[in-house]
Amino acid sequence: MASSTEPTGALPKAPSRTADLEEAWVFLVNGVDHIMNRIDTGMTFPDYTSLYTTVYNYCTSLATQTRGNQDDNRTGANRAGADLYAKLSEYFVEHFKPMTEKATKLQDEELLRYYVSEWDRYTTGANYVNRIFTFLNRHWVKKEQDEGKPVYQVYTLALARWKQHFFVPIQRENSKLTGAILRLIERQRNGEGIDQGLVKKVVFSFVSLGLDNTDPNKECLDIYKEHFETPFIEATEHYYRKESEGFLASNTVSEYLRKAEDRLKEEEDRIERYLHTKTRKELITKCEHVLIRDHSELMWGSFQKLLDSDQLEQMYVLLSQAGDLQRMYALLSRIPESLEPLRKRFEQHVKQSGLSAISEISGEGSTDIDPKVYVDALLDVHRENSERVTHSFKGEVRFAASLDKACREFVNRNAATGMSSTKSSELIAKHADMLLRKNKMAEEEDLETALNRVMILFKYLEDKDVFQTFYTTKLSKRLIHGVSASDESEASMISKLKEACGFEYTNKLQRMFTDISLSKDLTDAFKERNTDDEGISFSIMVLGTNFWPLNPPTHEFLIPKEILNTFNKFTGYYQTKHSGRKLTWLWNYSKNELRTNYLNQKYILMTSAYQMAVLTQYNKHDTMSLEEIYAATMIGKDILTQVLALLVKAKILVNEEQDQYDLNPNFKSKKIRVNLNLSIKAEVRQESNEVLKAVDEDRKYAIQATIVRIMKARKTMKNQPLIEEVISQISHRFTPKIPDIKKAIETLLEKEYIERVEGSKDTFAYVV
């Protein structure tokens, strides 16, 4: 039964089983010629079988006739195989003569079509011939190959003869085939439609002609590379160098970016459609070199313009410009070293954007700036450029690092911070305080999102210890005055700080909440024991000195008799529970509520302890002088004058004569509860000064502790490596100054924690 893939037709009668070479070959060459030249007319299955049988009979009968003669290498199966192989090789050589003659008269696409037509016919026929000579392949060819002789399987022999007697003669004439292919590809690059299938067949015939003598099944690209890939790459380089230079001479860089992007896509598509995949690396590398590397300086030069346009143009232009940035990044990322200039320019751009944003809101030399406005300005610059990193620069790690470096610069040093390296930490901490207070910004936006935004800036702060101290101070006020937005929000912020800086950074913050809880229990227990409250409702907070950044008043304070009894009772009660502990009363942080009885309308006045001390004097007096009030309260005069000024401003007191203060009998307010407990400037200035002073002290001890820890581990160390190690270990909290480190070393030498190594001035040893 005939296979559907085998040719059908009729041949002369097959020779006998014992036919000699000439008789056998006459029959075989008839069949081979029919297959190679008239495959379309078909061949009967019996004829096809006869051809196979003739090869088999000739090889086996001749081997039988000469079996036993071991001395003649040209007898038997060896001679039979060699004879048939030689005849077949001669046939293939003759087969190409008319083909070559015709091909030399053709040019360009006509030549390619003829070449492909003959290639299809020839390889199809050779495949059938290879099957006919299967016995020869399995025995004689295999034996010869095993002995290392340059002999091919019949199909490979056909390809070898095609290469030698058809392909090479055509190519010898000015690389005729290659030139025709390259001209066709150039037409396609110029926008014409071409027969890509034709190109693919010619190109892949070059691949098939690569023959590896050691392994016929191994792909060999020698012919493909020599006769196509190398000249193709050279032609590609020439084409794109000429095109890119001409295009840039009359178009913008933005337009060129789109052009280069399109050309690279075309080359990728070309590889998929009709080139060998191993050409990809060399082709794309060459295109990248010509289209990108050679013009990278022009791209670098236009990068700043794209960044500026991205900020200034309208939205529809913005989207286009963002595309140009993304396109430039995508192209230059193909040449990794070409991105570094962009990163540096981007870093400088972000830094300048941040500095400009703060300059706009700071005014001329102004040092008083709204923390919210300050933080929003910083975050706007970060958000805009962070989105640019994500979308235009694909979130590349090194661009993100450039963003971080620039942000670290303008967050810590800008027009609002002036010469102070701590101002930014202070402003951001104050903004966090505003967020976490009741009835403040927490109502304007999602609080958790706002806190996350604060942490973005916190990451860039160099003086995290300053932030910590200001934050702790502000938290203490929120807890003392009960003005936190919620315990959950406070806990969330502490958790974020802990995640960023570790347990030690937030230890005091968490202990403060513990003290608040214990104080509530203590107050409740005291109230249960002392039911005679004399009409006074009160609560007392007992706070650990080591955890709360609170300082007692620097002046004396005479406790008003209205609360003196309660004061004495609680002091006595606390001493019975905690013998040996000392209570220091923080009147400067205390607050009160007073009910008026001298007016027709009853008001509740919310006051500080100092305001309460002043106002209770008017239970017995309608008018008092400054000196009388001072004598009755002992409040420092710098504070007292501001306390009185607030009461006068609120119209509780009247100051018609110098240093004379009268109770206002005509006081009126739209609110029943009147808040008089406002911050006074002296306290605000004192708070900032105290915070910074505390930070300086903490830094001294932190540097000393770090030095001792390093020296204990290293035993001996030279001066410069010690300084570098201290900076490395402590810079996550603040950037220590070298003079401060040197001063700490001197202090530790005096305290005999370390000592100089004898004979070496700059080497220290740990004192055990």
Compute the distance between CA of residue 208 and CA of residue 201 in angstroms, rounded to an integer: 10
Please tell me the predicted confidence (pLDDT) of residue 45.
86
Give the pLDDT score at 68. Answer: 41
Quick check: 206 pLDDT over 90? yes
Split at pLDDT 50, 70, 90, the class of 13 is confident
Token pair for residue 545?
Answer: 């000195």
**Residue 715: which pLDDT band, with cuts at 50, 70 and 90?**
confident
Statement: residue 8 has pLDDT above 60: no
Please report the DSSP string for 488-529 in residue order: HHHHHHHHHHHHHH-HHHHHHHHHHHHHHHHHHHHHHHHHHH
φ, ψ for residue 686 (rounded to 5)? Answer: -65, -40
Residues 540-564 have pLDDT tens digits of: 889 888 888 888 888 888 999 888 8
CB of 276 closer than 8 Å to CB of 204: yes
DSSP-derived 3-state class of residue 323: helix
Beta bridge partners of 763: 718
Percentage, residues of the chain above pLDDT 90 = 50
- Cα distances from 166 to residues 172, 182, 221, in angstroms, run 10, 20, 18
**Residue 363, CB half-sphere, CA atoms under 13 Å: how many?**
6
pTM of the entire structure?
Answer: 0.76
Mean pLDDT of all residues in 279-290: 96
Q: 């930490």: which residue's tokens?
A: 425
- Alpha-carbon distance of 422 to 691, in angstroms, equals 11
Cα-flanking dihedrals φ and ψ of residue 515, to 5°? -60, -40
What strands, in cross-sheet order, belong to the sheet with 673-675? 591-595, 604-608, 673-675
CA–centroid distance for 452 within its chain: 19
**Average confidence (pLDDT) over 21-43:** 85
Q: 565 falls in which pLDDT band (50, 70, 90)? A: confident
Predicted pLDDT at 144: 87
Is residue 67 scored above 60 in pLDDT?
no
Report how far apart, in Å, the C-alpha atoms of 385 and of each of 287, 331, 463 are.
Answer: 31, 20, 23
Neighbours of 335 (CB within 10 A): 14
Domain ranges of the chain: 292-419, 590-678, 684-766
What CATH homologous superfamily does 590-678 map to?
Cullin; Chain C, Domain 2 (3.30.230.130)
Mean pLDDT value across residues 335-351: 94
Strand partners, 591: 608
Q: Which of 533, 549, 403 is nearest to 470 (CA)?
A: 549
What's the pLDDT band for 70 if we cut at 50, 70, 90?
very low
Q: Would you give the DSSP letter of residue 124?
A: H
Alpha helices of 66-166 — where are they, by DSSP H? 76-103, 108-132, 134-136, 142-146, 154-162
Note the pLDDT of residue 312. Answer: 42
Contact 266, 189 (CB under 8 A): yes
Lowest-pLDDT range of 27-41, 162-176, 655-669? 27-41
Per residue in 296-324, pLDDT tens? 999 999 998 888 875 544 333 444 455 88
pLDDT-based confidence at 20, cuts 50/70/90?
A: confident
Residue-wise pLDDT for 169-205, tens only, equals 999 888 899 999 999 999 999 999 999 999 999 999 9
pLDDT tens for residues 426-471?
999 999 999 998 765 545 458 999 999 999 999 999 989 899 989 9
Average of per-residue pLDDT values in the chain: 87
**Degrees, nearest 5: CA angle 227-228-231:** 95
- Give 114 or 758, the one with higher predicted confidence: 114
pLDDT at residue 69 in the model: 44
Q: Residue 766 gets which letter from DSSP?
A: E
Is it the case that residue 73 has pLDDT exceeding 90?
no
Q: How far are the Cα atoms of 21, 38, 68, 83, 223 from residue 57, in angstroms, in the given order?
A: 11, 25, 19, 14, 38
Task: Give the pLDDT of residue 532.
Answer: 66
Instruction: Give the Cβ contact number of residue 171 at 10 Å.
Output: 18
Fold of the domain built from segment(s) 292-419: 5 helical Cullin repeat like (1.20.1310)
CATH number assigned to the domain covering 684-766? 1.10.10.10
360-411 pLDDT per residue, tens = 988 655 557 899 999 999 999 999 999 999 999 999 999 999 999 999 999 9
Q: What are residue 765's DSSP bridge partners?
A: 716, 755
- % residues pLDDT > 70 (the chain): 91
The pLDDT tens digits for 574-631 are 888 887 788 889 888 888 999 998 888 899 999 999 999 999 999 998 999 999 999 9
Task: Give the per-residue pLDDT at 693.
Answer: 78
